[in-house]
């Protein structure tokens, strides 16, 4: 059984560690803290020696309490895994700021891993009783502070990208880098991780770094996270229009596919003014602004998540002649359960590209097509209760936003069920009434949901005779998403990209209601409806 023992973090009293059963020549995990502001987390096979080393560190020397977590069954792999989880969850808890750097955390498998994961829950309960941590694991798992923390165990392909980028930027010879990745491959997580890593790397820590996030909602969410992390500042998080205010050594751009060009935008005057400041004519784009304002650029990009004609066209990224990297590991779908998550993403792509052959069945991931929208709404609300939040209804913009001007009017009515669009645009997924509303693409792009209830509206249909998906533009009400689009195929691409994006938001499952009967039957004909009521206890 895992036990936690308190020792004074005092050099004169380290002899107590020498006499402790697990103080020398045994793997342990440890916490050093002042109890109210900061904490350091580590693992070692000699606590006695490691304590002496830490005491020479001026940051660590300010701390006063040493908690040693020991167990007769610990081995080196288990200690590394528990250390990694403690770093991630204590960072997400938010009570104490970590003195740790964020490098070296890696998800890896080892013998009897599930047993040690179960031990972690017991450790967390003890830490809660000791008042070192505050929140339960399930609540932390749902929090933005956990989801967007720079303290994340990386996948192998993420680690490879980080190592190559740090090497290239240290050399200073390359200027443009594009990291391609589909939904759920950890683009935002890696962008945030990179900011902290660059600030902790000797060769780059002096550089001025900005993290550009085009979507206002996600930008505000990440700002909140940066305020709680030692060494980071909310001022590092900027919008595309902010890059002209200063000169940057490195600009990291998340969701680069949402950078804007001068087309179907809200404020042309402001856009033109920024172009003029940079010596550009009115054809300048937010991509041009970023290039003009920095020495090095790192773009996180997915061409299939471009959802409006105002988005900078893929051809402009191709012209950059950037060094390309690719993220493949699926981290969102099915709780990151490897091949099934990747298979689900491919399944959604194949459905809309009319390439799906035969039936698909998912075991760890819950995918279900509903014939009755009320049943789907009720099921989403049940999942929201069971998973302590973050189950939401979302849809394409297939109904006017009537409630915007008159809150008493509903926006969507299907089979007698009346629904409202999102009442707030900033951080909607965490807003008070979100479970009773339907979010649009602009409120959820870049976010994870536990379960997503997707309404596919009447703007997209299926012709079963021709085996063809078609768009009904008259049922698409995003004016900025259709104005000036003369090519029907271009509008079709944007609308299909919206649904591909919405259908890949759910971590544990996706529910779907489809207005068009033929499209509903088409999708149902290619999947075995899965219904897995098992709740992952603490989502560890």
Token representation of residue 159:
């680690």
Q: Report the 10 Å Cβ neighbour count for 407.
A: 10
Quick one: pLDDT at residue 483? 73
Token representation of residue 503:
């259908």
Query: Among 153-157, 182-186, 463-467, 486-490, which range has the highest average pLDDT?
Result: 463-467
Quick one: pLDDT at residue 105? 72
Mean per-residue pLDDT for 148-155? 89
With beta carbons less than 8 A apart as the criterion, state whether 158 and 186 touch.
yes
Distance CA 479, CA 459 (A): 14
pLDDT of residue 295 exceeding 90: yes
Mean per-residue pLDDT for 400-421? 94
Name beta bridge partners: 212. Answer: 238, 253
Quick one: pLDDT at residue 531? 56
Q: What is the DSSP string of 161-187?
A: HHHHHHHHHHHT---EEEEEE-TTS-H
With beta carbons less than 8 A apart as the criterion, state whether 84 and 135 touch.
no
With beta carbons less than 8 A apart as the criterion, state whether 32 and 132 touch.
no
Q: Looking up tokens 């002096």, which residue turns up? A: 206
The Cα-based distances of 281 to 32, 288, 294, 317 in angstroms read 56, 11, 19, 19
pLDDT of residue 336 exceeding 90: no
pLDDT of residue 92 exceeding 60: yes
Distance CA 209, CA 233 (A): 11
Give the contacts of 423 (CB within 8 A, at least 6 positions apart). Answer: 403, 407, 431, 433, 437
pLDDT of residue 456 exceeding 60: yes
Give residue 490's pLDDT band: very low, low, confident or very high (50, 70, 90): confident
Query: How much of the chain, in percent, has pLDDT values that exceed 70?
Result: 96
pLDDT of residue 107 exceeding 80: no
- What would the pLDDT profile of 178-221 be if each residue is shown by its tens digit? 999 988 888 999 999 999 999 998 889 999 999 999 998 899 99
Token representation of residue 189:
């997580």
Quick one: pLDDT at residue 507? 92
Strand order in the sheet with 366-370: 366-370, 506-514, 449-456, 391-395, 437-439, 417-421, 412-414
Distance CA 24, CA 492 (A): 65
């Amino acid at each position: 059984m895992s036990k936690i023992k308190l020792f004074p973090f005092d050099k004169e009293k380290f002899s107590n560690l020498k006499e402790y059963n697990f103080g020398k020549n045994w793997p342990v995990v440890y916490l050093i803290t002042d109890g109210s502001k900061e904490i350091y987390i580590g693992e070692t096979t000699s606590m006695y020696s490691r304590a002496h080393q830490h005491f020479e560190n001026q940051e660590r020397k300010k701390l006063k309490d040493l908690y040693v977590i020991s167990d007769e069954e610990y081995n080196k792999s288990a200690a590394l895994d528990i250390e990694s989880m403690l770093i991630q969850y204590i960072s997400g808890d938010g009570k104490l700021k970590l003195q740790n750097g964020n490098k070296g955390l890696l998800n890896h498998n080892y013998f009897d891993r599930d047993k040690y994961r179960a031990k972690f829950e017991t450790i967390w309960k003890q830490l809660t009783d000791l008042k070192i941590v505050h929140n339960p694991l399930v609540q932390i798992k749902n929090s933005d502070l956990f989801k967007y923390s720079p303290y994340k165990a990386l996948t192998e392909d993420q680690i490879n990208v980080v190592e190559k980028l740090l090497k290239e930027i240290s050399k200073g010879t390359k200027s443009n880098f594009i990291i391609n990745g589909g939904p759920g491959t950890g683009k935002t997580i890696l962008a945030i991780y990179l900011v902290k890593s660059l600030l902790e790397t000797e060769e780059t820590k002096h550089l001025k770094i900005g993290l550009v996030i085009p979507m206002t909602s996600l930008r505000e969410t990440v700002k909140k996270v940066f305020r709680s992390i030692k060494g980071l500042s909310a001022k590092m998080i900027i919008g595309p229009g902010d890059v002209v205010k200063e000169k940057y050594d490195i600009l990291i751009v998340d969701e680069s596919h949402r950078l804007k060009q001068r087309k179907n935008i809200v404020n042309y005057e402001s856009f033109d003014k920024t172009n003029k400041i940079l010596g550009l004519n009115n054809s300048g784009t937010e991509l041009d602004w970023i290039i003009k304002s920095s020495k090095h650029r790192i773009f996180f990009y997915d061409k299939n998540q471009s959802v409006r004609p105002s988005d900078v066209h893929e051809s402009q990224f191709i012209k950059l002649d950037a060094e390309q990297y690719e993220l493949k590991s699926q981290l969102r779908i099915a709780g990151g359960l490897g091949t099934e998550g990747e298979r689900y993403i491919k399944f959604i792509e194949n459905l809309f590209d009319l390439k799906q052959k035969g039936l698909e069945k998912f075991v760890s991931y819950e995918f279900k097509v509903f014939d009755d929208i009320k049943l789907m709404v009720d099921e989403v609300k049940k999942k929201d209760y069971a998973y302590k939040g973050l189950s939401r209804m979302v849809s394409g913009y297939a109904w006017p936003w009537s409630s915007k001007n008159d809150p008493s009017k509903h926006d969507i009515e299907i089979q007698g069920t009346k629904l409202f669009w999102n009442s707030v645009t900033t951080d909607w997924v965490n807003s008070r009434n979100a479970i009773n509303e339907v979010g649009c693409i602009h409120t959820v792009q870049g976010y994870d949901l536990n379960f997503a209830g997707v309404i596919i509206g009447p703007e997209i249909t299926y012709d079963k005779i021709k085996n063809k998906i078609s768009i009904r533009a008259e049922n698409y009400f995003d004016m900025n998403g259709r104005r000036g689009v003369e090519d029907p195929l271009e509008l079709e691409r944007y609308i299909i990209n919206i649904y591909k994006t919405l259908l890949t938001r759910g971590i544990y499952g996706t529910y779907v209601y489809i207005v068009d009967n033929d499209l509903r039957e088409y999708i149902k004909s290619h999947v075995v409806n899965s219904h897995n009521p098992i709740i992952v206890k603490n989502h560890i």
